């Protein structure tokens, strides 16, 4: 069973103005995470539900995985490109 994604309002605000290439890369990486949310690095030691991953060569997103609800909440998106 795949997960569903929820965007925190802060992440939505940060996504405004992303170049189309960055937005496409973010969507692609998010789609990958729907099937394998654990395919990302820990954000905090000992708190495995908080993760971080890169996208598009110059972006990073931070998210929380709720295994019980099969929910990925993206709470921060940064693009340095």
Q: Are 43 and 5 a contacting pair, CB within 8 Å?
A: no
pLDDT number for residue 46: 93
| Burial zone of 75 (CB within 10 Å; 0-12 exposed, 13-18 middle, 19+ buried) | middle
Structure pTM?
0.93
Architecture of domain 4-79: 2-Layer Sandwich (3.30)
What is the chain's pLDDT, residue by residue, as a tens digit (81 residues)? 689 999 999 999 999 989 999 999 999 999 999 999 999 999 999 999 999 999 999 999 999 999 999 999 999 999 997
Domains of the chain by residue range: 4-79
């Amino acid at each position: 069973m795949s997960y569903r994604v929820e965007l925190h309002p802060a992440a939505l605000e940060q996504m405004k103005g992303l170049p189309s290439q960055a937005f496409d890369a973010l969507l692609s990486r998010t789609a990958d995470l729907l099937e394998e949310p654990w395919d990302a690095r820990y954000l905090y030691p000992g708190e495995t539900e908080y993760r971080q991953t890169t996208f598009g060569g110059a972006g990073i997103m931070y998210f929380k995985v709720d295994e019980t609800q099969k929910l990925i909440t993206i709470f921060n998106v940064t693009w340095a490109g």
